[in-house]
Amino acid sequence: MSSTPIEPLYVVDTHALIWYLLGDKKWFADFKTIYQDILSRQFFKFLPFDSRHVLDFDRDDLVPEMHDRIITGTARRLGAPLISSDPLITSAAIVPIVW
């Protein structure tokens, strides 16, 4: 029997994650504390990034910035909506956007 996740799966843009954790603050003073906070929450998971993903960059070339392309490609590969308000990502319309 295969297991089905109880919660829906989303990919989160870094800005959206920071805004969520800090309540719309522009920056944070202690990254170590924020990082530990993220790790302590079971519903967040860091995914690996390797050469297979770089070779897939061309599929998301409507997103001009490299790091945004990584995030968009991750959402596309997982078949998950992306939580983002980045206009360059949303205008590319590669993946469903939540925000």
User: What's the mean pLDDT in 2-15?
Assistant: 76
Cα 57-98-21 angle, rounded to 5 deg: 95
Write down the pLDDT at residue 19.
81
Its pTM stands at 0.80
Summarised one tens digit per residue, pLDDT across range 30-76 is: 778 888 888 998 888 888 888 888 888 889 999 999 899 999 999 99
Locate 67 and state its tokens. 């790091």
Judged on CB neighbours under 10 Å (0-12, 13-18, 19+), 84 is buried
Write down the pLDDT at residue 33.
84
State yes or no: pLDDT of 90 exceeds 70: yes
Question: Could you tell me the residue ranges of all domains in the chain?
Answer: 11-98
Strands, E assignment, the chain: 11-12, 82-83, 97-98
